[in-house]
Structure 1
Amino acid sequence: MSVRILTLVGSLRAGSHNRRLAEAAVKIAPEGTDVQIYEGLADVPFYNEDIDVEGSVPAAAAELREAAARADALLLVTPEYNGTMPAALKNAIDWLSRPFGGGAISGKPVAVVGTAFGQYGGVWAQDEARKAVGIAGGMVVEHAKLAIPGSMTRFAELHPVEDAEVTAGLTVVIESLAGARAAA
C-alpha cells in the first residue's frame, strides 16, 4: 500500500519557485509513495471559530480537512514572507488543528521544506511552520528538512526537478515522511 503525502504550498502564485519545488516532489516520489499537491488553499477562508461550526463549516475548509484526513503524512512547502510563513499556510494549519486534539493533522507526520531568495533558503519560515504544526498536533519530522537559498537565481532557468542536489534532498525528505508514517 502506498503512503499518501498531501503537499500544501504556502505560495499561491502559480509560477512560484515553491510551487515548482512541490511539483518536483510529485515527480520524484519514490516507489511506494504518492505525493499530491492540494490545490484549494486560496479558497479557504481565514479561520474564525464563529464559522467553524459542525454542519456549516465552509466547503473549502471542509475539503482541506478531508484531504488531510485521507493523507498519511503532510509535506509543507513554504517561501519566506517578511521572516515567516505566508498567511495561506498558517491559515491551513489553523483549520487542520481543529477541533483541538482531534484535528485532521493530529498525530500525522509532517515535514517542512522550501526555497527563498535569501542566503538561508527561508529557514525562519520553515521553523515557524514546524512550530505551528507541532502545536497544532502534527508529528514534526525534525530531521526531514530542506532549505534552498537563492531561489531567484538558482531556478531562473532551471526547474527544481532538474537540480540533482534538490531532487536528492527532496527524496530524503519524502522517504523520511514515509518512514515516519510506517513507524507511527
Structure 2
Amino acid sequence: MLSRLALRSRPAPSLLKASHLRQSRSLVTLSPNVLYLSSAVAEQPGRAGVVKSNTDTPLELTFARPKTIGGKGKGTTPEQLLAMAMSTSFLDAMNIAASKQGKNGSLANARVHAAAFLGHADNGHDGFALSTNILVENVDDDEVILAARELCPFSKALSEGIEVKIMKKAKTSPEDGEEEVD
C-alpha cells in the first residue's frame, strides 16, 4: 500500500502540463438519457448514522466520524467511499480509453490509488472542503491517462463541477411531492 506522501506526489511533468489545459470551469450536466441511477438515504445523525442505498444491489453502512474531527473512528466515512469510487471509476475509464485507442491489454497490471482529503475550506469560504488525488501505477501511457480523465465521471465532476439539486419533501401528507429549494 502506498503511503500518504505517495498519493500527494506530483504527476509526471507531461501530465501536469496537459491537465491544466482547461482555463475555464464549466458545469457538466446530464443528457436526458440517464444510464444508471443510484440513490441512498442517510439517517440521523448523518456522519455518525446509517446510510442505505435503494438500488438494484442494496447496501447498508454504518458511518462514523473520524477521530480527527471528534468521532470514535469506528465506521465508514463518505471520504472512504469517494476514494473507492474514484479509483474504480478511473481504472474503468482507463480501460475504455485504452480500448478506444486500440491498446487492449496494455493495462494488465494497472492500479489506481485515490485519496480524498477532508479539511477546512480556505479563501474565506465557510465549512469543510475536499481535495482529491489519483495516482496511476504501472501505466506509462500519458495518452490513456489523460483520456481517462475526460471519461471518468468522478474526475470530471470534481474538476469541472456538477449540477446539484436540493429539494425538500413536505411531511404533512404522503400525497405531497418534492419541491426544489432555490
TM-score of Structure 1 vs Structure 2, range by shorter chain: under 0.3
TM-score, length basis structure 1: 0.26
Higher relative contact order (CA 8 A, sep 6+): 1
- Relative to the length of structure 2, the TM-score reads 0.26
Structure number with higher helix proportion = 1
